[in-house]
Amino acid sequence: MPDIMVIAPQGEIAALVRELGWGPPEVGIIPARLEEGVAAARRAVAEGARVLVSRGLTYRMIADALPDVPSVEIRFSGYDILRAYLRASACAGPVAVVGPREVIEGFASIEEILGWQRQTMKIEVNDREYVAGVSEAVRRGAASIIGNQAVVQEAEAQGCQGVLVMSGREAIKLALCAAQAVLDKLRFKEVSARQIETIINAVDYGILA
C-alpha pair distances (Å), 85 with each of 134, 151, 166? 18, 15, 11
Sequence-separated (6 or more) residues with CB below 8 Å from residue 195: none
Q: Is the dihedral of CA 178, 179, 184, 185 positive or negative?
A: positive
HSE-up (13 A, CA, CB side) for residue 88: 32
Complete domains list, the chain, with CATH: 4-74+168-202 (3.40.50.2300), 78-164 (3.40.50.10660)
Are residues 171 and 74 in contact, defined by beta-carbon separation less than 8 angstroms? yes
pTM value is 0.81
| pLDDT (0 to 100) of residue 199 | 65
Q: Name which of 42, 150, 36, 169 is nearest 98 in CA terms.
A: 150
Sequence-separated (6 or more) residues with CB below 8 Å from residue 141: 94
Sequence-separated (6 or more) residues with CB below 8 Å from residue 62: 7, 37, 38, 41, 52, 54, 71
C-alpha pair distances (Å), 188 with each of 6, 27, 51, 191, 195? 22, 19, 15, 5, 11
pLDDT of the chain along its 209 residues, tens only?
A: 899 999 999 889 999 999 998 878 889 999 999 999 999 999 999 999 999 999 988 999 999 999 999 999 999 888 898 899 888 888 888 999 999 998 899 888 888 888 876 778 999 998 788 999 999 999 999 999 999 888 999 999 999 999 999 989 999 999 999 999 999 998 888 776 666 766 666 555 555 45
